Amino acid sequence: LDSGRLGPVRRLVNTLTPAEIGSLLEALPPTKRLMLWGLVDSEDDGEVLVHCNEEVRESLLQDMDDEEIVAAAESLDLDDLADLFEDLPDTVTENVLKSLDRTDRERLEQALSYPEDSAGRLLNPDIITVRPDVTIDVVLRYLRLRGEMPDHTDHFYVVSRRNQYLGRVAVTRVLTSQLDTPINELIDDSQAPIVVTAEAETVAKSFADHDWISAPVVDANNVLLGRITIDDMVDIIRAQADHNVMSMAGLDEEEDLFAPVRRATRKRALWLGINLLTAFLASFVIGRFEIALEQVVALAILMPVVASMGGIAGTQTLTLIVRGMALGQVSASNAMALLSKEMMVGGFNGVIWAIVVGASAGLWFGDLRLALVIAAAIAINLLAAAASGVMIPLLLRRLDIDPALAGGVVLTTVTDCIGFLAFLGLGTAFLL
């Protein structure tokens, strides 16, 4: 790309899948990103947009004129179009709607009527339905007449006259059964259909737990609306994991590697500001012990050790609990058992590191009382860290605050303050 010879690059790019192109675009700085975007086959434009994160998608859309956007939108499956639709400029959405035939327009409008992150947004209405009273032979003749089937079709859905979901028949069962077998002998109704209002994350968990490839989606009246396939679930599982990693640093999962500097600065500044408040709180605690700090400089030198050990130990517990919550494994019913286990681990590590840190500090400053003071402070802070690591995320969740996002700040505020308080407080009591 650097050399400006675009022909070979174009050929190379268009051998990639839309997901790969999307990932590549995300990895490029803005100018090169737009250069490469210009080289993508226009028939792939829509699919590539679907596979970019929101920030990159926005920057690419700004580079397209309305006609190109409409053309890109037209090429998409309805579930992908629903995903993309709300990011399109208002001037374009109307044209996109006009370009669809009536059925598709109604389907799209229906998809958009479901809340974001619900099963309704993910469902694909392209399915093959059969009646319970026909035979395999009829189904096979119908399929050969039809000539093609939606991608990833692994089941036919059996519906009543009023399109209510009765069950499904595996494609493999159809292939291995005798031609005169009626469909209703092959129906599998063991898997309850997904209700259209279910949350996407819950649906993804069901897919993972049951090893589903696809699942039927029904409305409140059990009318079959379509199906959800596992490839969309993989995207959700990835996004969910990304969310946990990114939000621990106060970033969001749609963060663009090459976001414009101004936007990135603004988004990061918020998090730095929140953390500054907590840092000043810790400084305020330290400020209460001015006299001790003036008289025993070793307290100033060693105080970061106490705070940092508490922060690390607390973060370990916090991470374990937040992960457990994401997996649905931590709840009020096992919170007490977790608290007592973590307190024990914190207690043992408190003793171990109190001895190590106490001995090191004692040798460094040649002061037995200082050694005892820091040892006690470490032990106290590690216990407090274990308790906070369990209780803070549970508390945050009860307050409807994302523990992955806020847990770290709250926790380090607690461990910093308790660490400084314990160390400088004990220092004031015993060293002055």
- Does position 54 interact with its own copies (CB under 8 A)? The reply is no
The answer to whether 164 and 223 have CB atoms below 8 angstroms apart is yes
The answer to whether 46 and 72 have CB atoms below 8 angstroms apart is yes
Sites for its own copies among residues 151-180 (CB under 8 A): 152-154, 171-172, 174-179
- Does position 383 interact with its own copies (CB under 8 A)? The reply is no
- Does position 400 interact with its own copies (CB under 8 A)? The reply is no
Q: Which of 67, 89, 116, 140 binds its own copies (CB under 8 A)?
A: 140
Nearer CB in complex with its own copies: 219/242:
242
118-142 burial by CB neighbour count: b if 16+ within 10 A, else e? bbbbbbbbebbebebeebbeebeee
Tokens of 75: 């090429």
Count CA within 13 A, CB hemisphere, residue 228. Answer: 31
Q: Which residues contact 362 (CB under 8 A, 6 or more apart)?
A: 368, 370, 371
- Angle of helix 54-62 versus helix 18-26 axis, rounded to 10: 90
- Does position 319 interact with its own copies (CB under 8 A)? The reply is yes
Sites for its own copies among residues 249-278 (CB under 8 A): 249-251, 255, 257-258, 261-262, 264-265, 268-269, 271-273, 275-276, 278
- Does position 8 interact with its own copies (CB under 8 A)? The reply is no
226-264 burial by CB neighbour count: b if 16+ within 10 A, else e? bbbbbebbebbbebeebbbebbbebbebbbbebbeeeeb
Q: Which of 59, 118, 315, 381 binds its own copies (CB under 8 A)?
A: 315
- Does position 213 interact with its own copies (CB under 8 A)? The reply is yes
Instruction: Choose the binding region for its own copies from 60-68, 109-117, 157-165, 310-318 (rule: CB under 8 A).
Output: 310-318
Nearer CB in complex with its own copies: 39/128:
128
CA distance linking residue 221 with residue 179, whole number of Å: 33
Number of residues written out for the chain: 432
Nearer CB in complex with its own copies: 70/303:
303
Sites for its own copies among residues 56-115 (CB under 8 A): none
Host H or E run for residue 226 = strand 224-229
Compose the 11-30 pattern: x for residues touching its own copies by CB under 8 A, - for all others.
------x-xx--xx-xxxx-
Compose the 279-308 pattern: x for residues touching its own copies by CB under 8 A, - for all others.
xx-xx--xx--x--xx--x--xxxxxx-xx
Host H or E run for residue 216 = strand 214-218
Nearer CB in complex with its own copies: 12/356:
356
| Kind of pairing between the strands at 129-130 and 155-159 | parallel
Nearer CB in complex with its own copies: 14/265:
265
306 φ/ψ sector (left φ>0, alpha ψ -120 to 50, else beta): alpha
Sites for its own copies among residues 219-238 (CB under 8 A): 230-231, 233-235, 237-238
Instruction: Choose the binding region for its own copies from 38-46, 80-88, 99-107, 350-358 (rule: CB under 8 A).
Output: 350-358
Tell me how far, at minimum, the Cβ of 125 lies from its own copies, in Å. 17
